[in-house]
Structure 1
Amino acid sequence: MPKDKINGSKARPCVMVVEDDAAIRRSLQLLLRSRGYDVRAYASPRYALADKQNRDAACLIADLLLPGVDGLMLLSDLRADGWDGPAILISGYITPERRAQAAHTGFDAVLEKPVGDIKLVDTMSNLIASRKV
Structure 2
Amino acid sequence: MTTTASSSPPPSPGLRLRLAPDSPLPRRLDGVWWPRSYDLLTEVPQLLAGLPPAWGHIVGVTVNGAAWSAAPGRMIVCDTVVHLRKAAARHAPDSVVLLTPGQGRWDLLVVPPDTPEEDAEPLMTTALGART
Q: Please give the TM-score of this superposition, normalised by the length of structure 2.
A: 0.33
Task: Give the structure, 1 or 2, with the largest relative contact order (CA under 8 Å, sep 6 or more).
Answer: 2
**Structure with the larger helix share:** 1
